[in-house]
Amino acid sequence: MKETIYDYEDLLEMLDSLLREPAQFWDNFYSDRKKGIPFFVNSPDENLVSYFDKEMISPGKVLELGCGPGRNAIYLAQRGCKVDAIDLSEESIKWARERAAEKQVEVNFINEDIFGFNLEEGSYDIVYDSGCFHHITPHRRMSYIDLVRKALKPNGYFAITCFLQGGQLGGAEISDWEVYRLRSLQGGLGYTEEKLREIFKEFKELEIRKMMVFEQPHALFGVPDFLTAIFQK
């Protein structure tokens, strides 16, 4: 294995090796489908549904980052969107494809690292992320923003759900520097409205709020202590 840093990409890969969970971790995570993981339900995020219901967004071409078992990708396809949905885990993609087949909807599920995905610049109307961003390490945050910026068409929309800082389901209350002292994301980083506003300041803020809560299972997915946000390029 090469362990010499020649450029910025080498530096990112070295830091990845210290902090990022490998694909095998996520394959094991998704292999037991009966675990009581809240987002294993097959219902779309309530905020995503609300964006369509309030006509904040309309059907178009969508890129979903970290799609998991596919619940939001399937909903987007049912709303008439053309969907590319990416996840690092082969097990999650397998499950997502099974669900899509059951619902008889077409989604292009892609088993790949989001940072290795070769996308055409300005090709998506919407980028959606439900629960991926809080697992992004601080050193990859700039790469993440670059990915969203590159993916979106002018005036396109970027929407996200993530851990609220100090939430009951996750949301580590640690600084970016502390991540590297601990060599851990502590299960996922927590964010505040102010932090999201600052991180995505190059985009126009349309709404930032807490996720509405619904007792699961329910037609809509909504759990405590998640933040939701939608921005426009």
Token pair recorded at residue 145: 């923003």
CATH number of residue 116's parent domain: 3.40.50.150
Residue 2 lies in a domain: no
Mean pLDDT computed over 58-81: 97
Residue 36 lies in a domain: no
Residue 192 lies in a domain: yes
CA dist 22 → 25, 29, 46, 113, 179 (Å): 5, 11, 30, 10, 17
Give residue 214's pLDDT.
Answer: 94
pLDDT per position as a tens digit, 110-155: 999 999 888 999 999 999 999 999 999 999 999 999 999 999 999 9
pLDDT per position as a tens digit, 158-190: 999 999 999 988 999 999 999 999 999 999 999
For 107, counting Cβ atoms within 10 Å of its Cβ (0-12 exposed, 13-18 middle, 19+ buried), the class is: buried
Mean pLDDT computed over 197-225: 95
Residue 38 lies in a domain: no
Number of domains in the chain: 1
Residues sharing a CB contact under 8 Å with residue 44, sequence separation 6 or more, in sequence order: 71, 72, 74, 75, 76, 220, 221
Residue 100 lies in a domain: yes
Residue 3 lies in a domain: no
Look at 22 and 215; give whichever has higher pLDDT.
215
Asked whether the predicted pLDDT for residue 21 surpasses 70, the reply is yes
Judged by DSSP in three states, 35 sits in coil
Asked whether the predicted pLDDT for residue 1 surpasses 60, the reply is no
Mean pLDDT computed over 194-220: 95
Residue 161 lies in a domain: yes
Alpha helices in the chain (DSSP H): 8-19, 23-31, 46-53, 71-78, 90-103, 141-151, 176-182, 193-199
Residue 35 lies in a domain: no
Average pLDDT value for the chain: 94
Asked whether the predicted pLDDT for residue 218 surpasses 60, the reply is yes
Which range marks the domain in which residue 49 is found? 8-30+43-232
Mean pLDDT computed over 77-85: 98
